[in-house]
A and B are shown apart, each in its own frame.
Chain A
Amino acid sequence: MRSSTSLSALTLVAVLAGLTACSGGRSSAQDAADATPVRGGNLTFAISVDSGCIDPQQVGNNDALNIGRQLVDSLTVQDLDGRIQPWLAQSYQVSPDATTFTFHLRQGATFSDGSPVDAAAVKANLDGIVALGAKASLGSTYLQGYTGTQTPDAQTAVVTFSRPSAQFLQATSTMSLGLLSVPTTTADPATRCAGTSLVGSGPFVVGSYTKDDTTVLERRSGYDWAPTGAEHQGEAYLDSITYRVVPEASVRTGSLQSHQVDATTGIASQDLPQFDGNGFWTQRRANPGIPYNLFPNESRAPFDDVRVRQALSKAVDREQLASILNPGDQAVRSALSASTPDAADDSSVLARDLAGAERLLDEAGWTKGADGIREKAGRKLTFTVLFWQPTSAVLELLQQQVREAGFDLQLKQGTTADTTAQQNSGDYDVLFYNLTRSDPDVLRTIFSTDTRNVNQRPRGAVDDLLAEQSSTTDAAQRARLVGQASRSLVQDAHSIPLIELSTVIAASDDVHDLQFEGSSRLWFHDAWKQS
């Protein structure tokens, strides 16, 4: 029912979009230099999903993380170039082996219950996230190997790991490791989800939370510790932010168009042109991390043969995939999306090479049958991609592209439930997903044989590169290792990146300075609204 509903809704939207003639002309309200911020006002923001929880330490869903970001501050902040900058920690040191991280906290920051943001709070939070276990679905991953936090004085927190963890520094900039007041860290996880015991030090506090309906955040008075890189210091401009859950895509479009909401990230790509100019603006940023990827299962035929994997990767026309996704999106260039720190440019490896693909398949003994599909020893070159994400148009185009080389790519769109089940069983040909994370260590999380080993492959040289980058604190050295690892992953086609997921803000011209932060989630502290 779900899929038929949205399909017909799309048809209707397409018809109505045809009726709404929209004039061109790019509005410049967003970047007008003479615009002076105005205090006050309520900004209404449409989100598509309510996962039933607004605790940034527990949630993994982008909409929920967007809400959580406004409630908590972090030890550090990551700027849009990927650099880590001070926030609650004025300065920090990392031991050469990347096992000990020392944070020197700024003076004067408080949680909204009045308690200080001190070393004890840092310890309580990190210990609390470990205690939450898998419930802290992202944070617990970032803290793997955590051995504890020492608090030599109120402003100093020393975090130690049992093994090198270079990724931890970036992790301290995420809302998933954002700091909550000490009582919150041991409160019942359910009351934290519902917002009732959720106390952070951020520029906004929870006003109310109604599941499936609205979350209202109110300005925190006296807030004065915005991160490095913020447009202004002091309190947020907006009186409040109201997040409204609007599950139906066409209703989000119409609500923004008719000014019933001020902004959203959930506009379908075919509707975006309506909001370019015309009293609206849009802005996009690729989500850092692993782009949408095919992950071949190398424990069995046909993808245990590197030539078949390479041929599959070469058969993909990434320029064409990007062009149907969002106008203006770049073709994916490496195993990491371009907004990830240290992302390399492997576009030469990822360029389409149909002749090369055909040659590799010939060498591997796969010959074309009468129907254009290759065969070997009576077996067709057929494989199934199981997915739940709303990417079927991209995957259908992919299906046509790789068919030209003789691959029979079958698509099976399932629910989150049955897709997850099949993934967990290990019985699959090819997985398909993406992962947002603004640290290159995400490659190790997904590909290393010591961690997820998404390819089910035997240990290889790339595992050493992945391990080495995770223990290297020298920035240039680490970038070099990441580059080598990512090139090796795409060359051997363990990773077959397809498209980058972009987050697109669409907003009314009344909305100003609503920005992305380092993980392509939103930052409302500087946002203001023309009354």
Chain B
Amino acid sequence: MRSGGGLAGYVARRLGQAVLVLWAAFTVTFVILYLLPSDPVSIMLAGGQGGEQSTADPAQVAALRAEYGLDDPLPVQYVHALWRTLHLDLGNSIQNGAPVTTLVGDAVPQTLALAASSFLLALVLGVGTALASTAVHRAWLRTLLQALPPLGVSLPTFWVGLLLVQVFSFRLPVFPALGNEGLASLVLPAVTLAVPVSASIAQVLARSLRTALAEPYVETARAKGASRARVHLRHALRNAAIPTLTLGGVVVGNLLAGAVVVETVFSRVGVGRLTVTAVNGQDIPLVQGLVLLAAAVFVAVNLVVDLLYPLLDPRLRVVGGAGASRRRTRSGAGRVLVGGAA
């Protein structure tokens, strides 16, 4: 690793790993879904969640199950599904027969808009809180600012969402409570989702900032006459940013897991809502498509994070930072994968 193969070799290795991760995600999902009791056809016939009992003829139900290949032996179904997926055919939803790629493709832009706006908001709030909590001198204000991130992490997202919608939509008709239409309908969901994400950014960044501010080079910089603000922003923040960057995977996980709740509270179309219906309906092809998407996103995010390290810290370029940074991000990526698939 240290001797290299250069950037191209590194990226190639990472792509190989990515394929392995996707295959593992696919296989694990497949096995879990088939170990669950019941079958998707019964759920579909019950009208999905909240439906009534089905009275369909058992022979016709069996025929439908055969049509979906659900009566084949498990290994046969697995090979079929894998072969199809390798040909970029994710199959059709069992619930309504629509192609999985269409269903997911329709939902992704909506969730992307939500996630991107939440992330930007969370970045501003998170960095702002961290900087303020390490910069202020008044003890009470510092204590207050330091208490915000743990509070933000522990507030249930749906509770924040319901509170915001009650106040800013039902009481004060400022923003719509429902739907995906335009910027106005994005405000409340984005704020809701930004709360936990900004809190985790602020938590890690503030801790790193405090550590950085105690380092000898800060003393040196101060001794050289650098202003407080310059030391804080130019020296300490730059160094503290690296551990925060490791959060990349965690942040994406928060965004995806939070989207499930936020999209439900605000009646938004998106990957989160789609995941809920897919899991409730045990819609195997759709769940697998969504898991593959989530896995691909995490792999991509972690790759980007790893490639960013050497840019932020020149030392990592010398010692072959890719290996070092991958070790740092691994735990983050693992945790996130579970969160996204749940």
Task: Check if A12 sits within 8 Å of B274, measured CB to CB.
Answer: no
Cα-based distance from A483 to B264 in the complex (angstroms): 45
With A12-B162, A248-B264 known as contacts, the answer to whether A134 contacts B177 (CB < 8 A) is no
Complex contact A244–B97 (CB within 8 A): no
Contacts known (A5-B261, A251-B178); A60 close to B51, Cβ less than 8 A = yes
Question: Is there an interface contact between A60 and B95, defined as CB atoms closer than 8 Å?
Answer: no
B215 to chain A, nearest CB (A): 42
Q: Does A473 contact B (CB under 8 A)?
A: no
Distance between B118 CB and nearest chain A CB, rounded to angstroms: 19
If the complex has contacts A213-B269, A244-B178, are A251 and B165 also in contact, measured as CB distance less than 8 A? yes
The B61-105 residues at the A interface (CB cut-off 8 A) are 61, 63-64, 92-93, 95-98, 103
CB distance from A215 to the nearest CB of B (A): 12
CB < 8 Å neighbour of A254 from B169, B261, B268, B277: B169
Residues in A with CB closer than 8 Å to B269 are: 210-213
Which A236-255 residues have C-beta < 8 A from chain B?
A: 244-248, 250-251, 254-255
Q: Which residue in chain B gives the minimum CB-CB distance to A248?
A: B265
Cβ B98 vs Cβ A5 within 8 A? no
Tell me whether B50 is interfacial, beta carbon within 8 Å: yes
Contact segment of B16-24, B52-60, B230-238: B52-60
Shortest distance between the CB of A475 and any CB in chain B (Å) = 24
Residues 413-449 of chain A, each 1 if its beta carbon lies under 8 Å from chain B, else 0? 0011110111010000000011110000000011000
Q: Please report the total number of B residues contacting A with Cβ < 8 Å.
A: 62
Report how far A435 CA is from B180 CA in the complex, Å: 35
Q: Are B52 and A417 in contact (CB under 8 A)?
A: no
**Is A51's CB under 8 angstroms from B47's CB?**
yes
Q: Say yes or no: A190 contacts B178, CB within 8 Å.
A: no
In the assembly, what is the distance between CA of A452 and CA of B57, in Å?
9
* CB of A258 within 8 Å of the partner chain: yes
Instruction: Evaluate contact between A52 and B95: CB separation under 8 angstroms.
Output: yes
Asked if A49 and B178 make an inter-chain contact with CB atoms under 8 angstroms apart, the answer reads no
- Check: A16 CB closer than 8 A to any chain B CB: yes
Residue of A nearest to B96 (CB): A52
A398 at the interface (CB under 8 A from B): no
Task: Determine the chain B residues whose CB is within 8 A of the CB of A59 once the complex forms.
Answer: 47
* Most A-side CB within 10 Å, residue of B42, B156, B159: B42
User: When the two chains form the complex, which single residue of B46, B57, B158 contacts A8, counting CB atoms closer than 8 Å?
Assistant: B158
**Are A49 and B49 neighbours in the complex by a CB distance under 8 Å?**
yes
Residues of B contacting A12 with CB < 8 Å?
Answer: 159, 162-163, 166
**Which of the residues A16, A61, A434, A446 comes within 8 Å of B47, measured between beta carbons?**
A61
Which residues of chain B come closer than 8 Å to A149, judged between CB atoms?
A: none
Which listed residue (B42, B98, B169) contacts A424, Cβ 8 A? B42
Interface size class of A (residues with CB under 8 A): 35 or more
Minimum distance in angstroms from A456 CB to a CB of chain B: 14
Contacts of A446 in B (CB 8 A): 55
- B43 located at the interface, meaning its Cβ lies under 8 Å from any Cβ of chain A in the complex: yes
- Contacts A52-B95, A211-B103 hold; do A418 and B38 have CB atoms under 8 A apart? yes
In angstroms, Cα B92 to Cα A254, docked, is 36
A-chain residues with CB within 8 Å of residue B55 when the two chains form the complex: 138, 141, 435, 445-446, 452
Q: Which residues of B have CB within 8 Å of A257?
A: 170
- Min C-beta distance of A434 to chain B, whole Å: 6
Contact check, B96 vs A61: say whether CB atoms are below 8 A apart. no
B183 is an interface residue with CB less than 8 A from chain A: no
Residue on A nearest B41 in the bound complex, by CB: A134
Which residues of chain A from 165 to 201 have any CB-CB distance to chain B below 8 Å in the complex? 188-190, 193-194
Once the chains bind, are A60 and B280 in contact (CB under 8 Å)?
no
Q: Are A435 and B53 in contact (CB under 8 A)?
A: yes
Closest A residue to B61 by beta carbon equals A134
Smallest Cβ-Cβ distance to A64: which chain B residue:
B47
Distance in Å: Cβ of B108 to nearest Cβ of chain A: 13
In whole angstroms, what is the CA distance A5 to B156 when docked?
9
Contact status of A433 and B53, CB under 8 A, knowing A8-B159, A189-B97, A255-B177? yes
Given contacts A258-B177, A417-B36, whether A134 and B45 have CB atoms under 8 Å apart is yes
Q: Are B264 and A435 within 8 A (Cβ)?
A: no
Q: Are A416 and B179 in contact (CB under 8 A)?
A: no
Query: Which residues 354-409 of A have a CB within 8 angstroms of B?
Result: 389-390
Residues of A within 8 Å of B273, CB to CB, are 212, 247
Minimum CB–CB distance from A198 to chain B (whole Å) comes to: 13
Query: Chain A 104-141, CB within 8 Å of chain B: the 1/0 string?
Result: 00000000000000000000000000000111011011
B176 contacts which of A211, A260, A417 (Cβ < 8 Å)?
A: A260
Binary interface encoding of chain A residues 256-267 relative to chain B, with 1 for a CB under 8 A from any of its CBs, else 0: 011011000000
Within 8 Å CB of A434, what residues of B?
52-53
List A residues at the B interface (Cβ < 8 Å).
Answer: 1-2, 5, 8-9, 12, 16, 48-53, 59-62, 64, 133-135, 137-138, 140-141, 144, 188-190, 193-194, 210-214, 244-248, 250-251, 254-255, 257-258, 260-261, 389-390, 415-418, 420-422, 424, 433-436, 445-446, 452
22 A-B residue pairings within 8 Å (CB atoms): A9-B158, A12-B162, A12-B166, A50-B277, A51-B48, A62-B52, A134-B63, A137-B44, A194-B98, A211-B96, A211-B103, A213-B179, A213-B268, A214-B179, A247-B267, A258-B171, A260-B169, A260-B177, A261-B178, A418-B37, A420-B38, A452-B55
Where the two chains meet, the residues of B that have a C-beta atom closer than 8 Å to any C-beta of A are 36-39, 41-57, 60-61, 63-64, 92-93, 95-98, 103, 106, 156, 158-159, 162-163, 165-166, 169-171, 173, 176-180, 261, 264-269, 273-274, 277, 280, 282, 342
Q: Which A-B residue pairs are the 8 nearest by beta carbons?
A: A190-B97, A421-B38, A61-B47, A52-B96, A421-B37, A60-B47, A134-B60, A254-B170
Besides A51-B47, A135-B64, A420-B46, 18 other A-B contacts (C-beta < 8 A): A5-B261, A8-B158, A51-B96, A52-B48, A61-B52, A64-B47, A134-B64, A190-B96, A212-B274, A213-B179, A248-B264, A250-B162, A258-B169, A416-B49, A417-B36, A418-B38, A433-B52, A446-B55
